[in-house]
Structure formats: structure tokens, C-alpha cells
Homo-oligomer: A and B are copies of this chain.
Amino acid sequence: MEMSEAYPMNGGDGIHSYAKNSTLQREIIDVAKEVAKEAIIEKLDVGVLNSPKTFRIADLGCSVGPNTFAAVENIIEAVKSKYQSQGLNSKIPEFQVFFNDHVSNDFNLLFASLPQDKQYYAAGSPGSFYGRVFPEASLHIVHSSTSLHWLSGVPKEIVDKDSPAWNKGKVHYASSGDQVIQAYKAQYESDMEKFLQARAHEIVYGGLMLLILPFHPSGIHPSQSATNLSLDLIGYSLMDLAKKGRVNEEKVDSFNIPLYLTTPQEFEAVVESNGGFSIERMEILTRSEFINGIDGHQIATHWRAGMEGLIKKHFGEDIIDELFDLYAKKADEILIPAIVKSAEQQVSLFAVLKRKAN
């Protein structure tokens, strides 16, 4: 049933776990909190409020918490405010929340850490969000934060030696040739179409989708983004290890990171081309504080929590510590100055889509 490759965040609660290394993602959810609340109160159809006995919410790409719990609580509070603002206090339904991620996600940890005082019935829904996960018209609000930049897989051409899009010596597209960039973009568009098609089935008419995703500003070359640079550094570090003979260079050639940073323009285009949703709101979330005092080690730890599994699978376990030590040094030398220089504070695209009535 998996429609795509799974790249689970690190499970458990050890020092390299996602649970303990997702404060950057949490900060994004905190920044999004007020906007999300406002969007629900403004944009959720009153018709949607009147219909359900159970109000159903899904968080797609939830990983293991605690971020997902904070996001979901915020949504429920907003929905309740909306009922109250319409004088529908007595009609506030029960809430059911579906936590979705790949089958290989650590659902045991997720369930064990569910808040004691949660005001909803919780369920875990395993499966790739690039395919159907829920029944027809069964969801009222869908949320997804910092997940949709994960592609369903790397584009085939870029690991094909005979293709002009072969991505030799690199692990991402931003500093590669146009053909590599185009291959990634095409993969993104095809994945997003599958995502939107599936959600168009699952979300009731008038229901909302709140999407928060890392992005790249329209009109600027991908290589000019600090996030992309931070991914390139993984490639540079791997190539250093190849030069030292610690990994096979061909292994680096065949390794690529299935992440894509969309531009707001590209995002708008895929939503319009799908046709199932109207874009009700789209804005850039900025953050001002977290970069103060951040160092290479912290950035290395951040990526490690998200990518260790992917890298292990391809290169084995032995190089992991060395790789992220190297990464931390490069991040201090190259990335931190670039971040400070670019003052890149525009970190996430926040979009509110509404399911159109046919």
C-alpha cells in the first residue's frame, strides 16, 4: 500500500531522536499558531460546522510528537472559537484526530506520548500521503507542517549515468545543472498532484487544508538559499569522506536527498492545475530569534534527526558520526556566515486551501 519511499525521522527518544531534535520544526508551528487559528476562524465554512457529529482532523507527516500535539490542540481551539463566534456553543462536536505518517514511523512512541488531557479521540493512520489514507469526504481539517518538502522519491533520471540529469558528486539539486533542477521540479509537481488528488477525495466540501512548508523565494536561483546550501553541505561532507577513502565515490553519486523547496509561484501553479482547492490565504512566515547563537553542531544535529535513516540505508552505519562531525565544521565555516549575511528569516510558506464544492 505504500505509494512512495519512506524516510522516517529518527524514532525513540535518544540523543539523536527526532523527538528531542525537532525544536526548529516546533518553532515553525509556534510561529504558525496565530495565523492558523485566524485562518480557521475566518475561512472555515459555517456549513462544515453544522454537519458533523464528529469533527475529524488529520495531521499528515506527523512524525512522533510533541510538535504534532501542539498543532492539533491549536486547531481544535480555533474550531471551538469558530463555533462560539457563530453562537453554536451547544453544537460543538466531539473531535477525532488522525495522526498520519509512513508505516515505518514510530507510532508506538507517538501513542505513548499522547497528552493525558487531550480533548479528542486519537488514531494513527499509517501510509504515504501521496496516496489515499482516509475514506471519501471524511476529514474536516487537514494539517501538514514541514513534511510536504519530502518527495515520494528521488527522480529516476538523476541517478542514471546515461541521463543528462545525472547528478554526479552531488546529493541535491540546488548547485547542480538545470537538468537536475528540472528533474526535481517535475517530481515535485507530479507528487503534489497525487497529494492534492487524494486530499480532494478525503476532505469535505468547504473543509480546510493548512500547509506549512519550507520554501524558496520566487525569482531567485535555488543555489541562493541557505536551506539548500545546508543540504549541499551534506554532499560536500560525503565527498570529503570519499576523498579520504571512507566511502566509495560511486555511492555518493547514487545518493540523493528527496527534498524539494518549492517557490510560492510553483505551489500556486500546482494547486490551480489540480483544481480541487481554492487558495484562501498564502503568506510567508518569518522568524527572528532562533538564528541568534545557532552553531554548526546544532544544524548538524537537526539534519541528523531527519536524515540518519536515509543515509544509513545507503552508506551503512559506520560513517554517521564522522559525517555529521565534518558537517558541523563546514556549517560553522560556510553556512552560518551565509545565514547571517542573507539574514534569511523567511522560512516557511503558510497556505490555507479550501476544498471547492464541485
A50 interface hit (Cβ, 8 Å): no
In the assembled complex, the Cα of A122 lies from the Cα of B132 at a distance in Å of 11
Task: Indicate if the CB atoms of B125 and A123 lie closer than 8 Å.
Answer: yes
**Separation in Å of the A200 CB from the closest CB of chain B?**
15
A126 interface hit (Cβ, 8 Å): yes
Indicate with 1 or 0, residue by residue over A124-154, a CB within 8 angstroms of chain B CB atoms. Answer: 1111000011111110000000000000000
Stretch in A113-121, A159-167, A182-190 with 4+ CB within 8 Å of B: A113-121
**Closest B residue, CB atoms, query A2:** B116
Contacts of A93 in B (CB 8 A): 135
Task: Indicate if the CB atoms of B121 and A111 lie closer than 8 Å.
Answer: no
* Besides the known contacts A121-B132, A122-B127, 6 further A-B residue pairs in the complex with CB atoms under 8 A apart: A53-B136, A107-B108, A121-B125, A123-B124, A124-B125, A124-B126
A residues adjacent to B (C-beta < 8 A): 1, 53-54, 93-96, 98, 103-104, 106-108, 111-112, 114, 116, 118, 121-127, 132-138
Q: Which 7 A-B pairs have the closest CB atoms?
A: A54-B135, A123-B123, A124-B124, A111-B126, A94-B135, A107-B107, A123-B125
17 A-B pairs (CB sep. < 8 Å): A53-B136, A54-B136, A54-B138, A103-B111, A103-B114, A104-B112, A106-B108, A107-B107, A107-B111, A107-B124, A114-B126, A121-B125, A121-B132, A121-B134, A121-B135, A123-B123, A124-B124
